[in-house]
């Protein structure tokens, strides 16, 4: 049985139980891998009931349990899962493709879970500019989602704005993303950041940053200057912190968060590092880079800044 707690309470419980022990020491005491303990601490995985009952403070936290689910819920070992008439999807293993999709969701995506009296609505949606992002969404993001989850993705355009969307309806997909740290609902309110399963692997971290910069990033030439800039913009302070720390951990020097919403990369050497290690997949950014006389390699990564 898996236990779903109020946001932050599972982390609080693990933190209280761990006390002054290191993750390595405490995980050994519990008979767990350190990475598994951290996934519980960061609320990336729901807590098994048998482990919960072994914790000395479990009675104090029983009132924070929102829901109890079967052990098959939210599994990520690969293969198919389905309950009753729930639509089947493929559950991917943790990978660079999954991390890039997660970054795209952090940027322009949203996960929605609405429980009705007899039926609920569960879907993910990614929104972009109907002209500038169309090629990226239709020819890169849509196939990426369909390949990862073996699910049909619909596309459409909003009538009242220059915006288009991709969306997929699936309870299992919403649950899987929740298990990975992407909580349904308002991203700002939930203060979503880059989860530990991505942060601990450089390949996944680069891919996640690419998804973030493809959606919430920009690249441009500075006015009246022979210099360029790559910017990441957002209002989520947790995500801004995680993005900057991720860049620094990869050896890419970036500005401090400016005006509580912007991170800049300006020096040519740092631009070279970013374009080599992270790069873009969104053609609206790639087309601008070409105007800087930057040559993309055959793999699509940007390798040279003149």
pLDDT at 54: 84
Are both 85 and 185 inside the same structural domain? yes
Q: Does 300 reside within a domain?
A: no
Are both 123 and 186 inside the same structural domain? yes
Tens digit of pLDDT for each residue in 115-129? 654 455 789 999 999
The span from the CA of 65 to the CA of 69, in Å, is 11
Opening angle at CA 113, ends 107 and 116, nearest 5: 155
Which residue would you say has higher pLDDT here, 227 or 242? 242
Domain boundary among 157, 190, 223: 190
Give, in order, the Cα–Cα distances in Å from 100 to each of 14, 161, 200, 211, 287: 29, 27, 15, 5, 20
Are both 176 and 93 inside the same structural domain? yes
Are both 174 and 206 inside the same structural domain? no
Which residue matches tokens 């879970």?
A: 113
Work out the average pLDDT over 155-177: 91
Q: Does 296 reside within a domain?
A: no
Are both 146 and 121 inside the same structural domain? yes
Work out the average pLDDT over 218-241: 89
For the chain, what is the mean pLDDT? 85
Ordered DSSP codes for 90-147: E-PPS-HHHHHHHHHHHHHEEEEEEE-SS-EEEEEEEEEETTTSHHHIIIIIHHHHHH
Are both 130 and 208 inside the same structural domain? no
Domain boundary among 22, 49, 69: 69
pLDDT at 120: 57
Work out the average pLDDT over 253-265: 91
Give, in order, the Cα–Cα distances in Å from 255 to each of 202, 209, 245, 259: 21, 16, 11, 11
Q: Does 302 reside within a domain?
A: no
Are both 101 and 115 inside the same structural domain? yes
Ordered DSSP codes for 134-183: HHHIIIIIHHHHHHHH----EEEE-TTSSEEEEEEE-HHHHHHHHHTT--
Domain boundary among 140, 161, 190: 190
For 253, residues 6+ apart whose C-beta sits below 8 A from its C-beta are 247, 265, 267, 270
Are both 92 and 180 inside the same structural domain? yes
Give, in order, the Cα–Cα distances in Å from 211 to each of 24, 104, 194: 32, 4, 12
Tens digit of pLDDT for each residue in 181-207? 999 988 888 889 999 999 999 999 999
Say if residue 300's pLDDT is above 60: no
Share of the chain above pLDDT 70, in %: 88
Q: Does 75 reside within a domain?
A: no
Domain that holds residue 208: 196-291
User: Of 241, 213, 234, 233, nearest to 302 (Cα)?
Assistant: 213
Number of domains in the chain: 3
Are both 101 and 150 inside the same structural domain? yes
Tens digit of pLDDT for each residue in 35-88? 888 888 888 788 888 888 888 888 888 888 888 776 554 444 344 433 334 577
CATH code: domain of residue 223: 3.10.28.10
Residues facing residue 100 across a β-bridge: none
Tens digit of pLDDT for each residue in 75-91? 443 444 333 345 779 99
pLDDT at 234: 92
pLDDT at 264: 95
pLDDT-derived band at 305, boundaries 50, 70, 90: very low
User: Of 139, 286, 291, nearest to 218 (Cα)?
Assistant: 286
Which residue would you say has higher pLDDT here, 104 or 301? 104
pLDDT at 86: 56
Q: Does 306 reside within a domain?
A: no
Tens digit of pLDDT for each residue in 5-34? 888 899 999 999 988 888 888 888 888 888
Are both 182 and 201 inside the same structural domain? no
Are both 97 and 167 inside the same structural domain? yes
For 224: left if phi > 0, alpha if psi spans -120 to 50, otherwise beta; the answer is left
pLDDT at 71: 53
CATH code: domain of residue 65: 1.10.260
């Amino acid at each position: 049985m898996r236990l779903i707690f109020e946001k932050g309470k599972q982390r609080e419980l693990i933190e209280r139980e761990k006390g002054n022990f290191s993750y390595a020491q405490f995980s050994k005491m519990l008979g767990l891998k350190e990475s598994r303990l951290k996934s519980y601490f960061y609320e990336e995985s729901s807590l098994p009931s048998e482990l919960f009952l072994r914790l000395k403070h479990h009675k104090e936290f029983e009132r924070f349990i929102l829901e109890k689910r079967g052990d098959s819920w939210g599994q990520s070992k690969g293969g198919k899962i389905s309950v009753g008439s729930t639509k089947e999807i493929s559950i991917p293993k943790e990978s660079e493709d999954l991390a890039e999709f997660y970054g795209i969701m952090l940027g322009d995506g949203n996960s929605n879970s609405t429980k009705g009296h007899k039926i609920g609505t569960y879907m993910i949606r990614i929104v972009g500019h109907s002209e500038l992002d169309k090629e990226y969404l239709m020819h890169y993001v849509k196939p990426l989602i369909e390949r990862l989850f073996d699910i049909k993705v619909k596309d459409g355009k909003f009538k009242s704005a220059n915006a288009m969307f991709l969306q997929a309806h699936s309870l299992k997909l919403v649950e899987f993303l929740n298990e990975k740290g992407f909580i349904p609902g308002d991203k700002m309110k939930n203060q979503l950041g880059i989860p530990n399963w991505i942060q601990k692997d450089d390949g996944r971290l680069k891919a996640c940053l690419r998804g973030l910069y493809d959606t919430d990033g920009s690249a441009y030439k500075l006015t009246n200057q022979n210099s360029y800039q790559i910017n990441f913009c957002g209002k989520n302070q947790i995500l801004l912190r995680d993005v900057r720390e991720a860049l620094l951990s990869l050896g890419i020097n970036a500005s401090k968060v400016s005006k509580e919403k912007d991170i800049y990369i300006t020096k040519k050497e740092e631009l070279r590092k970013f374009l080599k290690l992270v790069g873009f997949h969104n053609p609206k950014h790639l087309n601008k880079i070409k105007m800087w006389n930057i040559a993309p390699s055959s793999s699509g990564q940007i390798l040279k800044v003149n």
